[in-house]
Each structure stands twice: as structure tokens, then as C-alpha cells.
Amino acid sequence: MTIQIRPATIADTDTILRFVRDLAVYENAEHEVLSTPAHVHKTMFSEGTTAHGLICEQDGQAIGFAVYFFNYSTWQGRNGLYLEDLYVDPAYRGSGAGKAILRHLARIAVEKDCGRFEWSVLDWNTPSIQFYDSLGAKPQSEWIRYRMTGQALRDLAQA
């Protein structure tokens, strides 16, 4: 069985949204998914977009995806690659698909001279944490991640 990673195209919109929903179900957050085909078109496939997608296929069938973007480190004076989402269909976990996606992203980061390749994982997601540890990734415990959404975001913007 052959695993291939390719850039996502606008024709992959429904596949991307299916994987987003599947990931949200896995993370017990399905109720938080608001993304529509129009959102995906505008944010991933319009001129000037900053989000990029990958589709992982095995024998021509989409079995996973990743969404990433480039950030910037002032301390390094270099871009970094941030992995927003990575998902492999449960039936294909253990097939090497997740590692192939991460390897592909690492190659992009190296080709783009990124100083970092980063992502977040839920603290209860033991299988993923063990997988990332096995690849040599290190958790960043000294930083606390913050998020602002909804009314709090609008309030600050209007202050």
C-alpha cells in the first residue's frame, strides 16, 4: 500500500471538512466546529491566504489531512511552521500515515528555512503524545497558551 502526501486543492473542501469534524469528534469538541465550505474556500484557497493544507492518500483514497501555516520568531529572526491540525482516519492509524505527514511537513520547514516546527496536543491524548515523543519532539511546558474568542475578542477590539 502506497502512502502519498499532496497539497490540498479546492476540490478537497468536503474531504477537509469531513476530517475536521472527525477530529473534533475525537477531541470531544464537535459542537465547536463552525467551518463551512465558504470558510475553507476563503481561508485556504483564495489569493493571499496563509493557511495551507495537505491530503494524505493511500492507494488514491484520502485517509488523513494536515493544515499548517507559517509564524515568525523574533528571537530566531526566522519563520516557523505551525501545524494546526493533523488527523488520520482511525482505520489507517499505525500504517505510517501520521509519520509520513509529519515528515512531509518537516521537509517543508527545512526547505523554507524555518527555525521551528510546532504544534499543540491535548493533555489527555496519550497515544498522540507517545507518538510525538517517539519522533523526538519535546513538550514545551514553560509556556501557557492563551486564547481569546467570541465576545471577549470583540470587546478587546472595540476597547
39-64 residue pLDDT tens: 999 999 999 999 999 999 999 999 99
Give the span between the Cα atoms of 132 and 2, in whole angstroms: 23
Confidence category of residue 144, pLDDT binned at 50, 70, 90: confident
The pLDDT assigned to 111 comes to 98
Catalytic pick from 26, 72, 132, 146? 132
| Cell numbers linked to 39 | 470558510
- Give all strands (DSSP E) within the chain, no chain letters: 3-7, 52-58, 61-73, 78-88, 116-119
Cβ atoms of 100 and 93 within 8 Å: the answer is no
What percent of the chain has pLDDT above 90? 96
- What pLDDT does residue 2 have? 92
Calpha distance 21→44 (Å, rounded): 17
Q: Which three cell numbers stand for residue 126?
A: 496519550
Active site annotation includes 132: yes
* Grid cell 510525538 in the structure block, residue: 132
Task: Report whether 146 contacts 153 (CB < 8 A).
Answer: no
Nearest to 51 by CA among 8, 1, 6: 8
Q: What is the per-residue pLDDT for 8? A: 98
Q: What is the pTM of this model?
A: 0.93
Q: What is the pLDDT of residues 73-108, one digit of tens each?
A: 999 999 999 999 999 999 999 999 999 999 999 999
Query: Is residue 1 predicted with pLDDT exceeding 80?
Result: no
